[in-house]
Amino acid sequence: MANPDAVGTVGTPYEMDVTRGKIREFARATRSENPDYLEGDNNVSPPTFLMNYMFWAFGDSNPWPKVELDQQRGLHAEQEFTFHGEPPRAGTTLEATSRIDNLWTKQGRRGGEMTFVTMVTDFRDAEGNLVAEVKMTGVETARPPAEEEQK
Amino acid sequence: MSDTEKVEANLTVPPAPATWTVGPVTRTDFVQYQGASGDMNPIHHDEEFAKAAGFPTPFAVGMFQAGVVGSYATDWLGAANVRNYRIRFQAQVWPGDTLTIGGEVERTYRTAEGEPRVDVALYCDRVGTDGGEPNRAVSVWATFVLSEEQ
C-alpha cells in the first residue's frame, strides 16, 4: 500500500549530463531519423529524453521508493515534460532534484480504491535557471492491473 | 501557464504528417528503448517474470510508444520548439502489435510575451496480431512554439 507520509520527501540533488551519444541512442530507440537529433554537435534532446535521469539518480537522490507503491498493482498513469525554452542540448550538465509532490485516491471504474502519486523533478542549468520539469504520475490499483486495465 | 496569459490568435500551422504506422513491434524494440532510457524493469523483457506477474508475455514500456509519438510530433513541429508534452497511458502494447500514430491541432495563440504557440493532441493506437479493433495505447497533449516564417 502506498505510503502517504512519503509526500514532501525531497531527494538529494544530482547531476545529469546531456550527451550527443545518448541523444542518438534515444532517438534511434524511438524510431526518429530527425537530423536535429542525429547530426551536428550540440543536438537538441527529444521531448521524453529526460527519462534518462534513471541513469543518474541513485540512493537518496531518488525518493520514489519511499512511496512503497505495490509492484504487482502499480502502473504508470501519466508523464509530463515542461520546458522553459528549448529542450536541453548535448553538452549541457543539469542539476536535478526530485520530490514526492502529491498523493490522492479515487474510486476505480470497477470498484476498489485507486491511489495516485506524483513525483516532480526540477532540472536547472549551471546558472541555476529552471530549464525543465518532469512530473511522473503512478497509480496503485485495488487489484492487479492484469485484471483492472487502467483507463 | 494559465489561460489568462494566452491570447487566442489564428496562426498558420504546418499540416500534420500522414498517419504513421510502426511495427509489428517486437521484444527487441522494447529492450532497445529500455537500454536507451535506463528503465530496466524486467516485466518488459523477461518472459518468466512477466508470467509470474500474471501477464501472458512481456509488454512494452509505455514510454516507448510515448517516445515514438514524440518522434512524429517533432518531425511535424520542430524538435527545438516543444515546450510541454503530457502523456496518458491507456492500454498496454504487446509484441506483434502494430501501432498507428497521428495528431491534430487543438488551438493556436500567443503568450503574454507575443510568442506564437500551438496546442496539439496526438495519439498512438495499437492493434494485435488477432487483427481486432484497435484501441488507444497513449494519448498525448503537446505545446509547441510556432516558427513565424512558416
Per-residue pLDDT tens digits for A53-93: 888 888 899 998 888 887 667 888 999 999 999 999 999 99
Q: Does B49 touch chain A (CB under 8 A)?
A: no
Q: What is the ipTM of this complex?
A: 0.94
* Distance (Å) from the alpha carbon of B59 to chain A's nearest alpha carbon: 11
**Cβ contact A76:A136 at 8 Å:** yes
Q: Could you tell me the fold of the domain covering B3-145?
A: Thiol Ester Dehydrase; Chain A (3.10.129)
Nearest C-alpha in B relative to A51: B37
Of the candidates A30, A36, A44, which has its C-beta nearest B67's C-beta?
A30
**B148: Cα within 13 Å, side-chain hemisphere:** 4
Domain ranges of chain B: 3-145
Q: With CB atoms and an 8 Å threshold, state whether A46 touches B55.
A: no
CATH code that applies to domain A4-140:
3.10.129.10
Q: With CB atoms and an 8 Å threshold, state whether B62 touches A76.
A: yes
What's residue A57's pLDDT?
Answer: 87
With cut-offs at 50, 70 and 90, classify the pLDDT of residue A150.
very low
Q: For residues A46 and B75, give the distance between their C-alpha atoms in angstroms, rounded to a whole number.
A: 11
Give B-chain residues touching A28 at CB under 8 angstroms: 32, 36
Q: What is the CA radius of gyration of chain A?
A: 17
Q: For residues B138 and B66, give the distance between their C-alpha atoms in angstroms, rounded to a whole number.
A: 7
Q: For residues A30 and B130, give the distance between their C-alpha atoms in angstroms, rounded to a whole number.
A: 25
Sign of CA dihedral B89, B99, A144, A69: negative
Domain ranges of chain A: 4-140
Of the candidates B54, B70, B89, which has its C-beta nearest A48's C-beta?
B70
Of the candidates A29, A37, A144, which has its C-beta nearest B54's C-beta?
A144
- Beta pairing class for B20-22 and B98-111: antiparallel
Q: Which residues contact A97 (CB under 8 A, 6 or more apart)?
A: A10, A11, A13, A14, A121, A122, A124
Per-residue pLDDT tens digits for B75-91: 999 999 999 999 999 99
Q: Structure pTM?
A: 0.93
